[in-house]
Amino acid sequence: MATKERKYSLTKDAFNRLIANKLAMIGLIVVALLILIALIGPFITPYDFLSQDLMSRNQPPTSLHWFGTDDLGRDVLSRVIYGARTAVLVAFSVTILSFIIGTVLGSLAGYLGGKFDSFVSWLIDITMSIPSLLLVIVINVSLKPTLVNWMDAQFMATHDEFWRNTIWVDFAIVFGSLALIKWPKAARIIRGQILSIRNKNYVMAAKAIGVPTSRILTAYVIPNAIGPIIVSFSATLGEAMVLESSFSFLGVGVRPPIPSWGNMISDGLRVWQLYPHVLAAPALVLAIATIAFSFLGDGLNDALNPRQWK
């Protein structure tokens, strides 16, 4: 007699829990839309994000300009879409970069233990105790002039137009300093996972009966560690996006004319009494995006770590 065997795998279980969570699904859809918009941005923007139309400045939303125009007559919708590109680019690069650093240091600390572990833990504690905005400010005011001077010198030597483009310096500094802020969290989670799994009885048993390390890693360590890592990865995406906006808001992140939601909010703050749409458009979009990330992260947490919060 053939009984139908139902398989409950870890991923399928987690997936079902995620699907059942309405808030998380809303978050997932919004995040997916955001990434899609960022990818196809240039093809759907109604105007160029830089083109100024001084005849139609500060227009409220119309059928021509859905989100209105700003004080230089630039289309706000196009700038918001390009802002999404900036946000997604920064969020993903920073998160991947900090997880690479965090994985290397965290897993080495977890495996090696001893002096190296206490050194990494101390480094994590110190980095986490510096307010992130200040760290970025210090990096910005100290490294940027040096980098820009160096690029000037390169331009003088080679006359290559590449060195005139300081936008990449902005992005490089945002990537680097955000990764510097975010790696300790990744490292701490990965180290904790490895420490806790390494000492589990089933791992020791597997080791004792001679299971090769590669098989232990793929069969036991990774499936058990992956949940918290995915949760933290998605949380870091959202946080990096917010941090990039707040740096740009303060003028130490992505600078105009490259649109970032942060520097658009900062621009909007100057004229909001007369033209509130210039402020409201990027602020609302950023609010929706961050809330979506927060819903998604919480849903992932519930789905992948069912023992928590219960």
Is residue 18 a contact partner of residue 299, using CB atoms and an 8 Å limit? Answer: yes
Task: Tell me how far apart the alpha carbons of residues 295 and 142 are, in angstroms, rounded to a whole number.
Answer: 37
* Residue with smaller CB distance to another protein, 188 or 221: 188
Segment interacting with another protein (CB under 8 A) among 28-36, 168-176, 225-233, 282-290: 282-290
Segment interacting with another protein (CB under 8 A) among 84-92, 158-166, 183-191, 273-281: 273-281
* Residue with smaller CB distance to another protein, 126 or 172: 126
* Residue with smaller CB distance to another protein, 87 or 203: 87
x/- mask, another protein, residues 199-238, rule CB under 8 A, reads ---------------------------------------x
φ, ψ (nearest 5 deg) of residue 70: -95, -170
Task: Tell me how far apart the alpha carbons of residues 74 and 121 are, in angstroms, rounded to a whole number.
Answer: 48
Q: Is 252 in the site for another protein (CB under 8 A)?
A: yes
Of 80, 179, 283, 304, the one binding another protein (CB under 8 A) is 283
Type and span of the H or E element at 91: helix 76-112
Using CB under 8 A, which residues numbered 73 to 92 contact another protein? Answer: none
Q: Where are the alpha helices (DSSP H) in 113-221?
A: 114-128, 132-158, 167-198, 201-208, 213-216
Task: Tell me how far apart the alpha carbons of residues 49 and 61 are, in angstroms, rounded to a whole number.
Answer: 16
Taking the CA of residue 131 as centre, how many other CA atoms within 13 Å lie in the half-sphere pointing to its CB? Answer: 4
Question: How many of the other CB atoms lie within 10 Å of CB of 100?
Answer: 13
* Residue with smaller CB distance to another protein, 220 or 298: 298
* Residue with smaller CB distance to another protein, 77 or 289: 289
Contacts of 114 (CB under 8 A, 6+ apart): none
Type and span of the H or E element at 282: helix 276-304
Segment interacting with another protein (CB under 8 A) among 70-78, 100-108, 133-141, 155-163: 133-141
CB of residue 139 to another protein, shortest distance in Å? 7
Q: Is 286 in the site for another protein (CB under 8 A)?
A: yes
Q: Is 298 in the site for another protein (CB under 8 A)?
A: yes
Q: Is 166 in the site for another protein (CB under 8 A)?
A: no
The burial of 92, by beta-carbon neighbours within 10 Å (0-12 exposed, 13-18 middle, 19 or more buried), is given as middle
CB of residue 39 to another protein, shortest distance in Å? 23
Question: How many of the other CB atoms lie within 10 Å of CB of 274?
Answer: 9
Q: Is 20 in the site for another protein (CB under 8 A)?
A: no
Task: Tell me how far apart the alpha carbons of residues 112 and 202 are, in angstroms, rounded to a whole number.
Answer: 20
Q: Is 132 in the site for another protein (CB under 8 A)?
A: yes
Question: How many of the other CB atoms lie within 10 Å of CB of 24?
Answer: 22
Residues of the shown chain interacting with another protein in the complex, contacts defined by CB under 8 A: 23, 125-126, 129-134, 137-143, 145-146, 149, 238, 242, 245-246, 249-252, 262, 265, 268-269, 272-273, 276, 279-280, 283-284, 286-287, 290-295, 298, 308-310
